[in-house]
Each structure stands twice: as C-alpha cells, then as structure tokens.
Amino acid sequence: MNEILTMVPAWMAGGVLGAMFFGGLWWTVLKGVSSKQPALLFFGSLLLRMSIALAGFYFVSYGHWDRLLACFLGFVMARFIVTWLTGPNVKHHNPAAKEAGHAP
C-alpha cells in the first residue's frame, strides 16, 4: 500500500511535466512560425523545457528507479493527451472521389 502512495504522485508529477513540455512545444511552434528569429525561440524553448523536465525527473525520482518509471509513464501519457488535444482536425477521406494512380 505504501508503494502506491509514492507511485501515484510520481505519475501525476510526470503528467504535469509532460503537459508543460509538450504544451510548451505546441506554443513554441505556434509562435515560431511568425517570429522574426525562430531559431532563437526554438532553441531557447528547448533549453527551458528540457531543464524543467530533467530537474522534475530528478526531484520526483529522489534516487528511486520505480518513481522515475512512474514519472516517465505520466510524461508519455501526457504526450498522447496533448497531441490529441492540439492535433489537427481530421477530414474524412471521400471514397467517391477518384484519385489518379499515376502522374499525368
């Protein structure tokens, strides 16, 4: 029972770290398209996001591999959630439209 009490907060912290990392990436891409210096924005964002994520993993794990694994699981789950929330609107393929099988 005690192990679960330490794994759930580590998993939740991983989710928060992942949401910050991948949400920050999404924000960076949105702003970077219209930026006058996109390379500086992308590189600065990468350094900030990586620093926060690595420091978060270090403090959450506190030297325990099982907490690190739970944190990483939350981080990966947050990636899928952020990707799902910020993904493009999928337009369904029209099967009635005939596509050319070769170049003209």
Per-residue model confidence (pLDDT) at position 3: 78
Per-residue model confidence (pLDDT) at position 47: 97
Greater model confidence, 98 or 60: 60
> pLDDT tier at 86 (50, 70, 90 boundaries)?
confident
Query: In terms of residue numbers, what domain contains 44?
Result: 2-86
Kindly state whether residue 98 falls inside one of the protein's structural domains: no
pLDDT of 87-102, one tens digit each? 776 666 666 556 666 6
Kindly state whether residue 103 falls inside one of the protein's structural domains: no
CA end-to-end span of the chain:
67
Kindly state whether residue 97 falls inside one of the protein's structural domains: no
Residue 54 has pLDDT above 90, yes or no: yes
Per-residue model confidence (pLDDT) at position 74: 95
Amino acid identity of residue 62, one-letter, is Y
Number of separate domains in the chain: 1
Calculate the average pLDDT of the chain.
87
How much is the average pLDDT of 23-33?
93
CA distance 18 to 88: 20
Kindly state whether residue 52 falls inside one of the protein's structural domains: yes
Kindly state whether residue 73 falls inside one of the protein's structural domains: yes
Kindly state whether residue 12 falls inside one of the protein's structural domains: yes
Kindly state whether residue 30 falls inside one of the protein's structural domains: yes
Q: Which residues contact 50 (CB under 8 A, 6 or more apart)?
A: none
Kindly state whether residue 104 falls inside one of the protein's structural domains: no
